[in-house]
Structures are given as C-alpha cells and as structure tokens.
Structure 1
Amino acid sequence: MSQAVNTSLGYPRIGLKREWKRALESFWSGRSDEDEFEKRMKEIRLSHLAAQQRQGLDLIPVGDFSLYDHVLDTAAMFGLVPKRFAKLDDGGKITNELYFAMARGSKEAAACEMTKWFNTNYHYIVPELGGTEPSLRENRPLQLFRETKQELGITGKPVLLGLFTFLKLSKGYAAQDIRQWIGKLLPLYAVILKELEQEGAAWVQIDEPILVTELTEEDRALVNEIYSYLRGAAPGVNLMLQTYFDAVDRYEQMVKLPVAGIGLDFTGNGAVQLEQIRKSGFPLDKILAVGLIDGRNIWRADLEQKLKVLAEITAIVPKERLWIQPSCSLLHVPVSTSEEKLLPDAVLDALAFANEKISETVLLTSLVNEGRWNSVEDAQLLSNKVALMELNTLPERRNEEVRAASRDAQQQDAARALPFAQRRLLQQKKWMLPFLPSTTIGSFPQTQEIRNARRAWRSGEWSEERYRLFVQEQIREWIAIQEEIGLDVLVHGEFERTDMVEFFGEKLEGFVFTSNGWVQSYGSRCVKPPVIYGDVTFRSPMTVEETVYAQSLTAKPVKGMLTGPVTILNWSFVRDDLPRDEVASQIAVAIRNEVQALEQAGIEMIQVDEPALREGLPLKASQKDRYLQWAVHAFRIATASVRDTTQIHTHMCYCEFHDMIDAIRDMDADVISIETSRSHGELVSSFEEHRYGQGIGLGVYDIHSPRVPSVEEMSNMIERALQVLDPELFWINPDCGLKTRGKHETVESLRHMVEAANQFRAARAVLTS
C-alpha cells in the first residue's frame, strides 16, 4: 500500500427516494410477503454498495445496512431474545417476525426499549441481556461479505459493532458482571472474525464509539483484553478499531491497543485529536484512519482547510499508512443533493449529503496522493472556495437587530416572577383540575386524508381558505373526541404541521428546506431536518389561529403547542459558522415572541417541547455542564416572561433522569412529561434517589408500538410511579405525540388511559370519604 486509501464508515439505509422505508411498511402492512420483502431489501442493499463503488471508494463498508437497527442486528445475531418473545423463538436464526416484534412490539409483548444513539437523533433498540444465554445464530457480517463479493465483485470491509460498546449500550445485567458477559460474547466475536479471515476479508471495521467517552481504568483494561484476545483468535484479519463523535481520551493508551488500525474523528473536537498526534506521534505499525469529512452535518467541507490538516498529519504519518474517510457513518445525513431543485443556488452549492461527502473524501485522497496541497488552479478546489464564499456573503447570514436581541437575552436571568410553589397555588385556583389530570403530548394521527390535503394545498390545487377550513374540520372532530373520551386538558392536534421542527422553521427567517433531505430517526420513521443557514428571525404569530379556534370549541383548557429552541436546534442541520449556543439564543427569542402572542390571545396553558434537550449533551462529562447551562437558559428565555397563572408545560424524550435532574429543575416548567414507557421501571427507580417537586407526567404507554395497551398495563405503570412521586403533582399522559398512530388505536388507547386514571380517582375518593 504505497498511497493513502479512501473509505467510508457506513451509508444511509433509506435510499435516494426512501425505497427502504416503503419496502418495510409494505411488508408490515401485509402488502408484500416475506420473499418479496427479502428480494427488495437485497436489491436496495446491493444498489447502495454499487453506488459507493461508482464514486471511487477504495474500501467499501459491508454490513452497515440493516432491516431496522444495527444494534438490534447484533443482539439478534447472538440470540439475545427477551423471554417475553419466547413463543416466537425456535432457537435458530432470528426470523423477521421475531426481529420486528423485538423492535416494534406485538399484541402479546411490549417492544424493547428504544433510545438515542449517543448524541445523535438516531434511535437504537436497547439489547436486554437478563435471562438470556448468547450463541452465534448466524454470522451476519460473513453472509453480507460473501453476497457483496459474489454479486458485485467487491471485496468489502465488514462492519461489526464492537463488543465493549455493545455491552455498554445494553441493559439487564449488573455493572460488576460486565467481565462475565465479555467472557460469554468474546468467543462468539472470535468465531465471526475467524470465518471472515477464512473467507478472505483483509480488514474488518469494529465500531467502538464508546471509547470517546470518559472511561475508567478498569474499562480501558477490559478493552485491551478484548482486542488482545481477538488479535490472537484471528491473526490473519486486520482490525480497524473505529471511534467517532469526539476525540479519544488517553490517546497514548488508545493507539497502543493491539489492532492494525485506529480510526479517529478529526471534526468537532478534531483540534484536540490533531494536537495529540503532534505531541505523541503515531505508531509505526498501524494505519491511521482520518475522519475528516463531517458525517453529521450537511455543509460542504472547506477543502483548503482539510488539506492543511492532512499536510500536518502526513508530516507525522506517511500517506501509505493513512485512510481518509468521513468522521462517522453517513447514516446521519441525506443521500444526495441531486434531488434538490428548489433551494437557493448559494445554499444548494454549499451543501454536501452522503454522495457528495464520498466525493469529497475521494478528491482529498487523490490530492494527497498526487501531492497537490495548495493547487489554486485546481477547478474543484476553486469551485469549493467560491461556493463557501457565496454562502457566507448572503445578507441573511447576519442580521444585527437579531444578534443584539440574542445577546441581550443571553445576559438576562430569564426567571419566572414567582417560584413554583407559589405559582402552583395560583394555577390550581385558576384551572380547578381534578386529581391526576389527563392530557396528551400534542399531535393526533396524520391520516392519508390529511397528508393528501396538505399536498394539494402546497401544490396550489387547494386555496389557502379551503385548506384552513379543512384543518378546522379536523380540529373540531378531535376536540369532540377528546371531550367524549374524558381528557382534562385538550390539544388542537397539530393537523396543520408536517413535523414539529419543520413547521416552525417554515414560519421563521433563517431556515431553508430540502425536498428530499430525509434521514432515518428510528425504524422506518424518517425526518427531513430544516437547514439553519442564516440568523433566526420571528416574523408573525405561528400557532395562534389554530389554538384559539380549538379553545373556542370547548370549556376545557387547550394547550398551545410549541417546539422549544434547543429541540429546533438539535433537530436541524445547523450553520457551522456560529457557536450553537448563539443559534439557540436566536431561536429562543423567536419562540418567546410566540409564547407572548399565545398568552395575549387568551391561551394560558402553553407546552414548549424539548424532546431533544438531552441528545445535545456532549459525550464527555467534563463538557456537559456548559451545554446544560446554555440549553436550559434558552428554554427559560422562551418561557419565563409569562404571567404567574400561565402554566408552562414541556416534554422530553428518553431522559436518564439521574444525570439531568438539576437541569430539569432549572428549566422551571410547571409540568414536565417524560417519554419513559419502554424504560418505565428504571426511570421510576431513579425518583427513589432524586426527588422532583414540580408537575410531572411519566408516559403510561408506548406510542411507538402499534398496539392498544390494556387498562391494567397502564394502571400498573401509574401505581409504580405514585410510589415515589407526589400524587398531587402527577399527570396522566401517553409518552409522546400520536401523529404516527392510527385513529382507532389512538382512541382506544386514550380510553384505556382515562379509565385507568378514573380508577385511581375512585380509589382516592373512597379513602378520603
């Protein structure tokens, strides 16, 4: 190997036009059988590999493709099936029926827990190890390696989730038992690698992103033991130990691990990584895989700057021992800008999705290999420079009035006038809500009829007035449904909204929207994040009309529904020329204007959702406090200006309560709902250690699973929560919005939820009579 090599860590699963999503949903609905499904998935999988081959990748990752989630794939490969799915498990290869039951639940069994993949918006299925005994049901990397070689003539780079990361992301075992679980799984990893070695795999990429977190000395010793064992078990296969999402700690220890190569992330905190190499060098016997192209954002790389980094690295590490690659899997970005026809030219020219990022990787590699470090005459480098310059000179990039308001807001305390205990008394008197008040998180089913109506309106087939009347008709229907079910606090249903972030971005300045910029969030659920390219500016009220209309239909309170500033930030592709806290502050000022508009219009229960607050947390504990300070402050900028009697709600997802308790208290919301149904017991247990003294609703059923939970199931969740939470502060709600569910299951589930609440109210009435 006399030259630098280019490679990638993974490719988007969903397809250029979401073919993967459509194949999944066709299979789930019964419109295609298993043979058709498997055939279609193979076609999609091979087309993705061929696309990367055409772009000139030297080493193409194989095995990153998944039918649902790569962590679930690993658990299934090792037969780690929770006991509640035993009826579907015959001890052999995991069937699609069993695989998808674990992911989505079945009529008989709740789905496995789902949570965020590190600090991204991708969700993985949490492996449950308790009560299981691992065995290698199938060597999935081997099968996909063979398929790729036979069908396309590609000798790929198999991708495998590392053992240490897999265990750290799993549940169902005590921390002190990790060595025991390593002992169970390590021989199975060794079999996978031996068989790949026999099949002719030269390199295997083993993903260990957990290594960028702050590990203990015991953890580091375990990692060393794992890789010493694997090297001895399959000495003929080269292991590329791949890290991403941050710089590694203890660099000197990390690069001494017994592997053939180390993959490091040189974006984000890449300056730290570069300084480590400057200071300590790099081993002569290893390959350095340089993660130089940002795999998590959608902006073109500054190729001149990237070449400067590579020039520094090649002064230390010869180019023949370099791989040049994206910083992480391209799973987190859309497939290609080729489908984007409506964006402003200056913005479009500055974007790079997965295919464009591969092209940047290939170009950088050729420039390094040809020694063209500062070629001002190179057409591609010149094009890159011009595109970035044209983006940065757009007038929308700098609005002095917005920046002044943002600076002022950042310097303010942003606190409610009265503490919660005093506000609560005023709010109780105002609202007169019953014991265990019931509500929902905000959205109701987005039926095909609603999607068709929105499409007709956007295309101009429907007039503004016709669409407005249609939305009002949906609101009227669902206000009546909520009243009939017996909910205490209602919502308008968000029928006018495509996505909780996109909707607000479309009504604010500083955003643009792609036509086909989809990324996977969980399962077949794909989202199309807005692009924040300029300073964020409030134009006019965004939600007042629909909320006021809904309130006119009922005497019960209707919540105004807004998305919080940190969630808008974290669920968008964000400009990379400003610190994220400055962008969050701009958004917070805009949301504050909307909160004030709702309050002035008579809406005095307002929910400002922050489901993505936690996922923005840095992976290193030492950096978390700084993030939480500005994130919480942004929420308070948006909400603290209201009257004492105005009740502020918020909603959060997958919150590990114990490490967020102080931040959640500091948000000072009157009521918080937390998405917890898939990990309810663990969260409730944390309240035994961490008291929370404000209004709270723990989701009593899982909306991600297509099933109607029983009254008994919800009652058990409520009863468990009330053992550690103040019943006077507890709310009853689903664990998230209901947009993706069907109408029948939504209505029946909410009926069961209200019935469960009424049972507790009746029991309390007996006790107090």
Structure 2
Amino acid sequence: MKKLLPTSTAGSLPKPSWLAQPETLWSPWKLEGEELLEGKQDALRLSLFEQQQAGIDIVSDGEQTRQHFVTTFIENLSGVDFAKREVVRIRNRYDASVPTVVGAVERRKPVFIEDAKYLRQQTTQPIKWALPGPMTMIDTLYDDHYKSREKLAWEFAGILNQEARELEAAGVDIIQFDEPAFNVFFDEVNDWGVAALERAIEGLRCETAVHICYGYGIKANTDWKQTLGSEWRQYEEAFPKLQKSKIDIVSLECHNSRVPLELIELIRGKKVMVGAIDVATNAVETPEEVAQTLRKALQFVATDKLYPCTNCGMAPLSRRVARGKLNALSAGADIVRRELQG
C-alpha cells in the first residue's frame, strides 16, 4: 500500500562546511579537481542520510553538487558567456550581475545525469530531482542573441526536455521544475510560460512537478514579501492554467505565508506538495504547527494527493536548523497520518 502523505523537500539542503561556505547562496567550492568530485559525492550521501534519519519519504540530492539551482545548469550549456556580465533585475526584485546569452543555446552533454545515477545507487526510496524551469532560467540571464524572452524560453524548454528524459532513464521518479518566476510575470505565464513548461515535460512517463514559491529566505525576498499586503494571491494567476496542464504535482509555499489556502482549490485534481516548513526563519517548527498547516490544506486537497514539503530550498540555513525542520516535517505529517487512519 502506498504511504499516505509522503514527505519531501523542495530541493536544496545546506552544504557541509568543508565543501562550501555555510549559510551562503552562490558559495564558492572549497575543494577542486578530483577532491571536489569526491567531496560532492560525500556531501550527497550525507544529505541523503540526513533526509533518511529524519524520515523523509521522497528523497533528493539536496542539490549538493551544484552551486546554485539555476546557474549550475546554465554553466553547462553553450551560447552563454559567463565572463561577459550585465546587471539585470531578477524577478523584479533585486539587481544581480548575470551572464550573457551570446549565441544559440545548446546542451552538448548531460548535466546532472551522473549525479542522479549516483543518488539512485544509494537508495531504493523514490527520488525527486529539481531542474530550473524555462521562465526562471531566462530571468537569470542577459539575452543579447534571441532578443525575445519567449524564444529563449522555448529553446531552454527543449534543452530541459533532453535532460529530463535522461534523468528519467537514470531512475528518477519525480522531476521537478523550479519556477519562482511564475509568481511574478503573470501575463507571460499565461501567454507561453505554462506551454513552455509542458514542452519541457514532453514524453516523460515519470511524475512531473512544478515548484512555485516566494523565494529563499534572503533579504531581497523577505523585503518583497512585506510589500504584498495582507493576502498573497499570486497563485490565483497561474493555477487555472496549471490545473489544465499535464503537470502532475504543484509544489507551493503555505506555512507562515499569507497565501489564502483556498487558492489550492484552483488546482483541484492535481497532487499538491504543501509547504509546511518556513525556510525564511531559523525558528524550527513544532510538529503540531506542521500538522496545523496540513490539516488546513486537507480542506482543499484529497488525502491521497497531499505531499507535505518545505516552502522552498534550505541552502541558506545552518545544517542544525535544517535538520530540525526536516524532523518537524516528518513528525507533523505523522500526526496527521495517524488522525486520518484513526
């Protein structure tokens, strides 16, 4: 029998201090060459172990082998010049110096396939792998070639599809596309964003997910949240289109956010990864707080379609805090599971 309320994380977990600077995004590697390769694999196994210790059901690589959830993928493509940088506004929130698209973007070799095979060898549990979504990828670049966000997004969608098919062949059970940009560029989401996402999942037989959140707990994001008023209704814009899409699972931020949970009604029929852990605070939730969020969500999601999860990645947190949060997620899901099985 399939487990009720299977838990998972949105993706990233903190890296060990011997691999990269702790509690920092874009943290440079402390090792190089063969040592780095081995260090990344050690960190992946450690991350997996911590998820298993906490009782997480659907495990991931904790994104231990990548510096950043978007750029590590882009670094492996041709047509992008990392030395030629421009300052752009990311998700209409903060300025960042980003690489430039100088020619046709192509994937000349697999990016994460070896890492995924390595994770698959370590466990018999279901595994989830996160990739950046097409719209979030274009939002992290300066485009000097296509001169069209939509054209570049379609190029990326095709490239992501190649990678996703190989991840599926490597034994990945759920492929998740991270699309925080879906919470910002509503017209684009509806004009071509969801369609580009469907292009990225074309032909896949494994389960597919899209993760839409309000970002890591970094200052630019927490400042932006302060401007959103008493109700965050951004999901209202993308959900109707996603509900009709071929995506199997929608992963969203709920805990400690001002998202009215009834918006989940708009994706009725989809599986929902409900963010029951706030990643923008060092305070570790109690199992009961997690259970409260899940109980509220169950008013709008069928019990066999609810997957307790974290709001977003936990890369910027300390390992101790992340460990505490994973334990709370598991324990909270367990409380609700017992209530449901009565």
- What TM-score do the two structures reach when normalised by structure 2? 0.85
User: How far is 1:445 from its partner?
Assistant: 0.5
User: How far is 1:614 from its partner?
Assistant: 3.0
Greater percentage in strand: 2
**What letter is aligned with 2:262?**
S
User: How far is 1:676 from its partner?
Assistant: 3.1
1:521-560 to structure 2, matched below 5 A, reads 528-560=97-129
User: How far is 1:456 from its partner?
Assistant: 4.5
> Which of 50, 56, 60 pairs up with 1:481?
50
Distance 2:161 2:143 in 1: 20
**What letter is aligned with 2:324?**
E
**What letter is aligned with 1:664?**
L
Q: Aligned pair in 2 of structure 1 residues 714, 514: CA closer, same or farther (>3 Å)?
A: farther
Q: Aligned pair in 2 of structure 1 residues 639, 691: CA closer, same or farther (>3 Å)?
A: closer
**What letter is aligned with 1:663?**
K
Distance 2:97 2:71 in 1: 8
Distance 1:473 1:481 in 2: 12
8 Å CA contact 2:6, 2:307 repeated in 1? yes
Q: Which position in structure 2 is the counterpart of 1:95?
A: none
8 Å CA contact 2:240, 2:267 repeated in 1? no
Q: Which position in structure 1 is the counterpart of 2:192?
A: 630
User: How far is 1:603 from its partner?
Assistant: 2.0
User: How far is 1:519 from its partner?
Assistant: 7.4
Indicate the structure (1 or 2) with the bigger Cα radius of gyration.
1
> Which of 675, 686, 691 pairs up with 2:263?
686
Distance 2:46 2:15 in 1: 13
Q: Which position in structure 1 is the counterpart of 2:324?
A: 748
Q: Which position in structure 1 is the counterpart of 2:242?
A: 664
**What letter is aligned with 1:717?**
T
**Number of equivalences:** 318
> Which of 677, 692, 699 pairs up with 2:255?
677
User: How far is 1:675 from its partner?
Assistant: 2.1
Q: Which position in structure 2 is the counterpart of 1:616?
A: 185
Q: Secondary structure at the match of 1:606?
A: strand
Structure 2: give runs of 5+ residues left out of the alignment.
22-26, 215-232
Distance 1:676 1:559 in 2: 20
1:348-747 to structure 2, matched below 5 A, reads 433-451=2-20, 454-457=28-31, 462-463=32-33, 465-514=34-83, 528-575=97-144, 578-617=147-186, 624=187, 627-643=189-205, 646-654=206-214, 656-680=234-258, 682-687=259-264, 690=266, 692-747=268-323
| Structure 1 residues 686-716: Cα deviation after superposition (integer angstroms, max 9, x where no partner) | 345x352110022112101222122222111
Distance 2:292 2:261 in 1: 12
Q: Secondary structure at the match of 1:679?
A: coil
User: How far is 1:718 from its partner?
Assistant: 1.0
8 Å CA contact 1:635, 1:667 repeated in 2? no
- Share of identical aligned residues, percent? 25
Distance 2:260 2:18 in 1: 38
Greater percentage in helix: 1
8 Å CA contact 2:84, 2:99 repeated in 1? no
Q: Aligned pair in 2 of structure 1 residues 760, 652: CA closer, same or farther (>3 Å)?
A: same
User: How far is 1:720 from its partner?
Assistant: 1.0
Q: Secondary structure at the match of 1:497?
A: coil
User: How far is 1:576 from its partner?
Assistant: 6.6
**What letter is aligned with 1:684?**
L
Distance 2:41 2:59 in 1: 15
8 Å CA contact 2:101, 2:145 repeated in 1? no
Distance 2:177 2:257 in 1: 23
8 Å CA contact 2:182, 2:238 repeated in 1? no
User: How far is 1:666 from its partner?
Assistant: 3.5
8 Å CA contact 1:433, 1:488 repeated in 2? no
Distance 1:519 1:536 in 2: 19
Q: Aligned pair in 2 of structure 1 residues 530, 434: CA closer, same or farther (>3 Å)?
A: farther
Q: Which position in structure 2 is the counterpart of 1:28?
A: none
User: How far is 1:575 from its partner?
Assistant: 2.8
| Structure 1 residues 595-635: Cα deviation after superposition (integer angstroms, max 9, x where no partner) | 11112222232112222123223xxxxxx2x6523111111
Distance 1:447 1:469 in 2: 13
Q: Which has the higher contact order (CA 8 A, sep 6+)?
A: 2
**What letter is aligned with 2:245?**
M
8 Å CA contact 1:564, 1:635 repeated in 2? yes
8 Å CA contact 1:511, 1:534 repeated in 2? yes
Q: Secondary structure at the match of 1:593?
A: helix
